[in-house]
Amino acid sequence: MQGIMRILFAGLLLLSATVLCQDAGVTLRYRNFISRHVGQVSRDRCDQEMGSRRLTTISGSNECKATNTFIGATTNRIRSICGSAGAPYGGTLTRSLQPFPIVVCELKNQNARHPHCQYRGRAYTRYIAIQCEQGFPVHFERDIVSFD
């Protein structure tokens, strides 16, 4: 009987560790999402925001990132898309039921390399499509003009 209890206890510990690791992964992806996409960004400050958030380069290279979208809303409002303020969209994504103010920063000088990345900002009000995990936004997929 003690052997069975030890096996059950060991299994429970392993399961708990797995759940904690998954939760930590979601938390990290959520924090990355916030740092990359959330905040009141002026369309005239794309260079500064991209630089201060270290978003100017593609991972593992010095090639300038072509585009990045900033969502001008609170984290709670964006997170609500993963619940009652969102609807399924294109398989694994969730779309907002209400439009959001966004600023899209696009690279002006194509083929530029860091530290010479320069961005042009454009402000819009659009619906957004995100990926959610365990009730948290973890990936910005795209903005949506309308749902025709």
Q: How far apart are alpha carbons 107 and 66 in whole angstroms?
A: 5
Catalytic residue among 30, 33, 37, 104: 37
d(CA 61, CA 65): 10
Pick the catalytic residue from 45, 114, 120, 139: 139
29's tokens: 């992806």
Between CA 69 and CA 38 the distance in angstroms is 9
The CA distance from 118 to 105, in Å, is 9
Determine whether 116 is an active site residue.
Answer: no
- Catalytic residue flag (residue 139): yes
Name every residue whose Cβ is closer than 8 Å to that of residue 89 and which is 6 or more positions away in sequence: 95, 129
Which residue numbers are catalytic?
37, 139
